[in-house]
Amino acid sequence: MTEGSIITVLDEFEQLDNNCPCDAEILGFELVVAGKTVQFHINVAAKQATLADIVPLARRLSTKLTNLFLGSLRENGQSVPCRKGCSACCSYLIPLSIPEVFRLRGELLAMPADYSRGILRACLDTAEKILDSRSQTTYLESFSESGQSQISQMSKWYAGLKLACPFLSDGLCMLYEQRPLACREHLITGSSFFCQPDHGGEPNVAAMPISVLEAVGQLTAELEGLDIEAVMLPLAFPWAQNNLPRMDHTWPAVTMVERFFKILEEMAVKNLATPAALT
């Protein structure tokens, strides 16, 4: 599974090369984020796409929108301590959208065997500790459909387990380029002191004007006709193994991309009047 093989974000002035399929289609969109209009051109190189095929696009958009938001925070005098080498938040509860779960599974299988086995082993070890927790049943049963108050309770429960992310090694992410959307969109302002689970306070998390993670979740629910779901990161690979038929289902690729951006546009309009993250 190659990154962006079906749905690709084109860089500025980038043109289709001669190897692209003749039926490839370029779609243009724009979003208003942090007071700036951002244009995107998306190359859709196949008629049909799976849920996993939307993930490279989502990652690129999330990174670009997060960088814009980060710049806006700093322009407004906010200090953002998030940077390479800081792993203070890497014991948090990380939700993965269903497309991300399937994409990560394919990417893991494409890695060298020794490397992928080490990551899978770390995930399974962490999953076992979660499942062995006496209070896990209630939280696992309601994780995918939790409201904000329940998510807060679950986050405190998970922090109490004191489990580092299975992707973390010597303070660095082993899958940084493939890191979850939740990680890409997590920014705090002020000090990182309260990011550590052992500290009693709460970090000042900056609310993204547009959440690509939420948009992916909504898109998936609409396509499959199901409720919005999420999977805890350490449980992602066994969950994927138990849901393989969903991984292979396809939809018209252009329709997926158009609906995805429509959801993002609706989020931008909804949040434009109340930019709480910048106040």
Q: What is the pLDDT of residue 136?
A: 56
Residues 69, 173: Cα–Cα separation, whole Å? 22
- Mean pLDDT for the stretch of residues 141-158: 58
Q: Which of 240, 254, 236, 203 is nearest to 127 (CA)?
A: 236
Per DSSP, the residues of 90-126 read TTS--EE-HHHHHHHHHHHHHS-HHHHHHHHHHHHHH
Q: What is the pLDDT of residue 74?
A: 84
pLDDT in tens, 159-177: 777 788 899 888 889 999 9
Of the chain, the percentage scoring pLDDT greater than 70 comes to 81
pTM of the model: 0.86
Structure tokens at 186: 């997590």
pLDDT in tens, 254-263: 999 999 999 9
